[in-house]
Structure 1
Amino acid sequence: MPQDEPVIGCTGQVIIATRGSAGPGEILVRVRGGSETFLAWSDDPLPTGATVLVIESRGSREVHVIKWVDPLDALGGDPAGAE
């Protein structure tokens, strides 16, 4: 099945929790100038609202994701410098 290359590397938000190996959830991703939903598989369960990174496209609007934590959040403060 052909991969959906543009979605790989995008971040998204879990809108239906994933269940790890027990089954997929659903994510919303900003891609191609809009927002699209994908079935999302993950190694570990991920709750609704979690931010994820798409690491693989499985074709047919299915992706593999991991939990994403923005490394800039660890810096604290306002990223624009206006505290």
Structure 2
Amino acid sequence: MIQGMIFTFAVLAFAAMLAAGYQFGFHIGVGYVLGALVAAPLLSVTLVFGLICLADWSEHRARTRRRVRSAAHRVQGQ
């Protein structure tokens, strides 16, 4: 599943880099295309693992908040 996400984001990142290069007036030659081919998977891996870390952090934060609320409720009830 993660490999599929990485591949999908790599294709999108490659297309976005080509479109951005054209939009900003860069010369889209062989060197630019090869550089984009090398950079796209790296950007994709960074994006996917960044999303995974963000989701994990958010889940830990939510779990901690639930534990604190539960403990406060137990203490308040005594």
- Using the size of structure 1 for normalisation, the TM-score is 0.26
Structure with bigger gyration radius: 2
TM-score by length of 2: 0.27
Larger RCO (CA under 8 A, 6+ residues apart): 2
Structure 1 or 2: more strand by fraction: 1
